[in-house]
Amino acid sequence: MGKVRVAGFSVSIDGFGAGPDQSLEHPLGKRGGELHNWFYPTRVFQSMIGKEGGTEDRFAAAAMEGFGAFILGRNMFGPIRGEWPDDVWKGWWGDNPPYHAPTFILTHHARASIVMEGGTTFHFVTDGIEAALAQAKAAAGDLDVKIGGGVSTVRQYLLAGAIDELQLSLSPVVLGRGESLFAGIDLPSLGYRLTEAVPMELATHVVLTR
């Protein structure tokens, strides 16, 4: 059985994992894209958008490697709220999303699974985080499960004691507003300790292990 991990999750200096007011124009909230400035030049990201080249970055590579399943919150999947109006929206990523594995979406509103190109299938789970995690673990087999975000989803799994390891990328950005990752969460009491810190030019990467 693999681990449950958060990897490549970008956080501002003041602790926000997304900006405010998510919309079609601002998928990561206003100014939220700035959190990922370290990621955009990497070979991993360039490959995602169909380009060659880019810088080598082991934290960028680790953000997508070794996972047999993913879990995403409803907001991470798209800006639509409430009942699904139709089946048109299939995520932010086009026909070939970057997951290439079963991907479980937390939602209160049922929807049929969507088979995408490249091995990604979106499954919509309406009966809570534990059910989604059980399905993801079964799908992943010996590989890891990635809690891909957004902030609310990571917080829920943290408080449930379900995450084995968090790799965070601290970006030199101050947002002032947005979605706080750790507000009201006592990480040491949950058993987490810092096991690695690597300062790089565009971000400082830290690993917290439970």
pLDDT of the residue at 132: 98
pLDDT reported for residue 22: 87
The pLDDT of 128-135, averaged and rounded, is 98
Q: Is the pLDDT of residue 196 over 90?
A: yes
Q: Average the pLDDT over 99-114 and give the result.
A: 97
Give the pLDDT mean for 158-173: 97
Q: Which fold has domain 4-79+96-205?
A: Dihydrofolate Reductase, subunit A (3.40.430)
| Of 123 and 26, the one with more pLDDT | 123
pLDDT at 47: 86
H, E, C per residue of 151-205? HHHHHHHHHCCCCCEEEEEEECCCCCCCEECCCCCCCHHHCCEEEEEEECCCCEE
- 206, 10 Cβ separation under 8 angstroms: no
Determine contact, residues 206/185, Cβ cutoff 8 Å. Answer: no
Strand-strand pairing, 165-171 and 204-209: antiparallel
Encoding tokens for residue 206?
């830290």
Q: Where are the domains of the chain?
A: 4-79+96-205
Percent of all residues in the chain with a pLDDT value above 90, rounded to a whole number: 87
* pTM exceeds 0.85 for this model: yes
